[in-house]
Amino acid sequence: MGSLVLSSRLYVRGVGLVLACTFVSLATQLDVLLGPQGLSPVATQLKPGISFWRRPTLLWLLGDSDAALWAVVLLGLFGSLWMAWGRARLGGVLLAYVAYLSL
């Protein structure tokens, strides 16, 4: 295996581990930060007058409930662990990116 291939695989796995730590950290603070009684509730960020392109998030489709927030966090965690595991790197990167952008 070439050194370029090995280094790219290690890089993607490392980024996956860092993203997994990010999503776990956010999961511990989710209710306090983005929940209905949080510092910056999602419901105030998703007003009808704001376009999707100004706030690109999956929460436009899923809603602003706690379950939707947890679904996005778990989606990101799944994608980042998929990256760290080394399988389906593109799928993991896309899942983690979309979830990270959504939050």
Q: C-alpha angle with apex 74: 94 to 59, nearest 5 degrees?
A: 75
Q: Binning pLDDT at 50, 70 and 90, where does residue 35 land?
A: confident
Closest among 63, 69, 68, 58 to 32, alpha carbons compared: 69
- The mean pLDDT value for 59-76 works out to 87
The pLDDT tens digits of the residues spanning 74-103 come to 999 999 999 999 876 788 899 999 999 988
Closest among 4, 5, 1, 14 to 93, alpha carbons compared: 14
Q: Crossing angle for the helix pair 3-34 and 89-102, nearest 10 degrees? A: 30
